[in-house]
Amino acid sequence: MRALVMTEAGGAEHSRVLDVEPPRPGPGQVAIDVAYAGLNFVDVMARRGDGYAATWPYRPGKEVAGTVRALGAGVTGLAVGTQVVAAVAGGGLAETAVADAALTVPVPDGVPLAAAAAAPLGLATALLLLTDAGRFTAGESVLVHSASGGVGTAVARLLPLLGGGRLLGTVGRPEKAEAARRQGYHAVHARGGDVREQLRAANGGRGVDLVLDPLGTAALDLDLDLLAPGGRIVLFGNAGGGTPDPLPPLPRLLAANATLTGFSHGGLLAQAPARVADAVRRVLDLLAAGSLDAPVTVLPGLADVPAAHDLLAAGRGEGKYVVALAGRPA
């Protein structure tokens, strides 16, 4: 089978599409013929050597949609031929992937596999950020950094389904602001310059109830300045790479009446996989009901993925990307 392989840390020059042995499912696992696989920033972080690739060569890809090809020992409740999505430990950008059965969820009728491929990591993360880590309640204001990216657009699509609220965003480049506004953000500003005042004005001078921040500690001072008393900040990434700064001193956190929360999809997979599987089921149900419309850009094949990773690495991606693989329905 064909798989994307990153041979060493660096850029696209070390990403190759190679013929490799298809993986076999171990006990409690399933093998999936992948129809569509999601692209995620964590694959870019792995590629650039941020420590997400345990060994080289590394096979990236954390979320897939396709058809169950084989069951490992002890797997019940899933059948060969069933259309499923799965969060995978790696190796999702390939024609066949192996997933834990506990993280493999059947796709409801009527949900296109291309859209479903964004559920296990991208959409589930956005939902968990809002509901579990962020404890969002209807009517609150939410500030999202990297608003025009995959998770950022998913948050915009999910927020109205959770009762809605005032949605503010930041982007790294001014030219991406309009794309985020089209996804449902009420106001989006490029970081830097007067962004503090712009965001405060965009929220009517009030503090923000919830901040979703994947920027390490780079924007934490801004977050704390903008936070409403009792507000929550969810830190869920370190997009810039490198060693984040220490957290702000305790008096600063106390004075802001801030709740700081961490979120890691990978951590939940290891420690509480049922919570991820439940979130995946919830977003699939929303897609099936037609209430969630989460558009994706479909790349035609694995050979197109390194250039898309380049876009993400340069902060020039827009929305969510998935790649079509050989196992997709005709």
Ligand X SMILES: NC(=O)c1ccc[n+]([C@@H]2O[C@H](COP(=O)([O-])OP(=O)(O)OC[C@H]3O[C@@H](n4cnc5c(N)ncnc54)[C@H](OP(=O)(O)O)[C@@H]3O)[C@@H](O)[C@H]2O)c1
Give the interface with ligand X as residue ranges (CB under 6 A).
40-42, 121-122, 125, 145-146, 148-152, 171-172, 176, 214-215, 236-237, 239-240, 263-266, 312-313, 315, 317
Q: How far is the CB of 241 from ligand X (least distance, A)?
A: 6
- Closer residue to ligand X in complex, CB, 75/199: 199
Give the nearest distance from C-beta 89 to ligand X in angstroms.
14
SS3 54: coil
**CA-based max dimension of the chain:** 60
The smaller minimum CB distance to ligand X, of residues 5 and 234, is found at: 234
Min separation Cβ 82 and ligand X, Å: 26
Identify which of residues 116 and 215 has a Cβ nearer to ligand X in the complex. Answer: 215
> How many other CB atoms sit within 10 Å of the CB of residue 273?
14
Tell the smallest beta-carbon distance from residue 168 to ligand X (Å). Answer: 14
C-alpha to C-alpha distance for 47 and 264, rounded to whole angstroms = 19
User: Could you tell me the smallest distance in angstroms from the CB atom of residue 251 to ligand X?
Assistant: 27
Instruction: Specify the residue, 74 or 241, whose C-beta has the smaller distance to ligand X.
Output: 241
Q: How far is Cα 73 from Cα 84, in angstroms, rounded to an integer? A: 18
For residue 179, the minimal CB distance to ligand X (Å) is 10
Burial 103-128 (b: 16+ CB within 10 A, else e): bbbebeeebebbbbbbbbbbbbbbbb
In DSSP terms, 324 is beta-bridged to 36
User: Of all residues in this chain, which one has the CB nearest to ligand X in the complex?
Assistant: 149
Q: Which residue has the tokens 């699939």?
A: 284
> Which CB atom, from 77 or from 262, has the smaller least distance to ligand X?
262
Listed residue (8, 26, 7, 27) closest to 17, CA to CA = 7
CB of 267 to ligand X, least distance (A): 7
- Is 61 or 317 the residue whose CB approaches ligand X more closely? 317
Distances (CA, A) of 189 to 182, 194, 196: 13, 9, 9
Q: Locate 263 and state its tokens.
A: 């979120």
Kindly report the length of the chain: 330
Name the residue nearer to ligand X (CB basis): 69 or 320: 320
CA distance readout (Å), 188 to 11, 92, 226: 30, 33, 15
Q: Which residues contact 213 (CB under 8 A, 6 or more apart)?
A: 145, 219, 220, 223, 233, 234, 235, 236, 237
**Please, what is the minimum distance in Å from the beta carbon of residue 205 to ligand X?**
25
Nearer to ligand X, 104 or 146 (CB): 146
Query: Is the previous residue joined to 57 through a cis bond, with omega within 30 degrees of 0?
Result: yes
